[in-house]
Structure 1
Amino acid sequence: MANDHDGDSPAQYSSPPRFMHELDPEFRPPLSDWTDVRRWRKAERERLIAARLAVSADARAAMSLRIAQGLDAVIGEISGRMVSLYWPFRGEPDLRPWMASINERGGRTALPIVVEKGQPLIFRAYKPGDRLEKGVWNIPIPAEGDPVLPDIVISPIVGIDPSHYRLGYGGGFFDRTLAAMPFKPLVIGVGYEMQRIDTIYPQPHDIPMDRIVTEA
């Protein structure tokens, strides 16, 4: 009886071999090289920001309100606590009304400031009505005041994975800041449900969020 094939010619199949990306369009091959991870993160960052900006301003405002309500539920009593927030940028949830309510309820608020590339952020106390000036990327920052250390850090996300690892803007400021703080604050990532992804391919320097709050 003849063999199905011999060792001198390649095996013949009824159909060409299939690959996972053909069977499942959502399949993501594992990435181990930091260069590949950075390239993937850059593309994913651009995709997620574009999707966020495509949502109407009214819809984002409604989702921001629900996120603020979710933060109240997670944090509880706010009096006497210092909360670092952020100035909304490129479609991020706008929590400025919630910032005002914190101060009305006896809490204090702060904003992060980029000092220089490759260095941790600092936090400076800010409440609505304080004088602002333009910082990096023209994002408003408090014009004066000594650095403060927040008890709670609210961080906007570009993407978030099931282990609460955050995809940010790629500058590494957030992770350096948390690593340099003398105590561990409560760290809450905020964003929209559409920003959930399977993984950010976390690296040793990445620090996960303690909690995630979305409009859901």
Structure 2
Amino acid sequence: MNTNHKSDFRISSIKRLRFCSSFKRYSKSKKIVEKLKYIIKKEGAENILLFVPLELEVNIKPLILELRKAKKKVYVPFMQDDSFKMVKYRLPLQKRRFGIYEPNNSFMKPVKIDLAVVPIVGVDALNKRIGFGKGMYDRFFYRLKYKPTIVFTQLVLCKSEKILSDNYDIEADYIITG
């Protein structure tokens, strides 16, 4: 695999995502959240790894609030070294590395998650994740000793017809786009 193709695809996908108007982002996010709720219910997920969305990502904040009210256990990434650990979602959120908002670090026993919702920049021909290029999600899932249900979300489907992924890039059970 030529990494230039992967980085070129990443750049063009980010441009497509930036082109999506705020109204479209709102309506697409709303539709995607409804589909996520259906999958969470279908899978019977109780412990769920979500993410605090960046501007180019699906706004899942309403889902986070709804799941917490339903007494589901909601976790988000907390960046640590070359990957992240899961922490309970709670306020306040602090803007940290790469402009990502995170709750404060919390020390908790490792929890087995049932389902993970993962933002993507795009997918390749094998439906493997192309992210922002830091590899944090790939390292996180590689280090897990089990495989939860993985759901990719994206406002606009950015899919390459070429195989751009490496063998360690993660693959989803579901891909939901607007």
Secondary structure of 2:80's aligned partner = coil
Q: 1:1-216 counterparts in 2 under 5 A?
A: 32=1, 36=2, 38-76=3-41, 81-116=46-81, 119-127=82-90, 130-147=91-108, 148-149=110-111, 150-215=113-178
- Shift of residue 77, structure 1, vs aligned partner: 5.8
Select the structure of larger CA radius of gyration. Answer: 1
Measure the CA separation in 1 of the matches of 2:126 and 2:44.
30
Question: Unaligned stretches of 5+ in structure 2?
Answer: none
- Shift of residue 199, structure 1, vs aligned partner: 3.2
Q: Check the 8 A contact 1:80/1:108 in 2, yes or no.
A: no
Per-residue CA distance 1:107-146 (angstroms, 9 max, x = gap): 1211102212xx331010014xx22222211211111322
Measure the CA separation in 1 of the matches of 2:67 and 2:162.
33
Name the amino acid aligned to 2:61: R
Q: Check the 8 A contact 2:78/2:86 in 1, yes or no.
A: yes
Percent identical among aligned pairs is 22
Over aligned residue pairs, what C-alpha RMSD do you find?
Answer: 1.9
Per-residue CA distance 1:2-49 (angstroms, 9 max, x = gap): xxxxxxxxxxxxxxxxxxxxxxxxxxxxxx4xxx2x111111111111
TM-score by length of 2: 0.89
Q: Check the 8 A contact 2:75/2:89 in 1, yes or no.
A: yes
| Structure-2 change in CA distance of 1:185 and 1:193 (3 Å) | same
Which fold has the larger relative contact order, with Cα–Cα distance below 8 Å and residues 6 or more apart in sequence? 2
Pairs aligned (count): 176
- Shift of residue 78, structure 1, vs aligned partner: 7.9
Per-residue CA distance 1:149-176 (angstroms, 9 max, x = gap): 3321111010123532111111111111
Q: Check the 8 A contact 1:160/1:167 in 2, yes or no.
A: yes
Name the amino acid aligned to 1:120: S
Q: Check the 8 A contact 2:128/2:169 in 1, yes or no.
A: yes
Identify the structure with the greater strand proportion. 2
Name the amino acid aligned to 1:156: P
